[in-house]
Amino acid sequence: MSHEPKRRHSKQRKGKRRASISLQLSQAIVCANCGARHVSHIICPECGFYKGQQVIAQKPALVKAA
């Protein structure tokens, strides 16, 4: 016994259903250590800190000699 739909759903009904499934931008937060914006619950890519602790040692920035 299959459960097939008895009638076709209209385009309007389909659109109403899909309207609530829209994609949302992830919320960015400000890093407490360096002030850069990054995604929450993720290690800061700028300084390597997470929850006030250094998790990843960052490479020193290369300085060009004048």
CA-to-CA distance for 46 and 39, rounded, in angstroms?
Answer: 12
pTM: 0.50
CB 19 within 8 A of CB 11: no
The conformation of residue 32, written as its DSSP 8-state character, comes to T
Q: What is the pLDDT along the chain (66 residues), one digit of tens a residue?
A: 778 889 999 999 999 989 888 887 778 999 999 999 999 899 998 899 998 888 888 777 666 765
CA-to-CA distance for 25 and 33, rounded, in angstroms?
Answer: 24
**Domain residue spans in the chain?**
22-66
CA-to-CA distance for 43 and 39, rounded, in angstroms?
Answer: 8
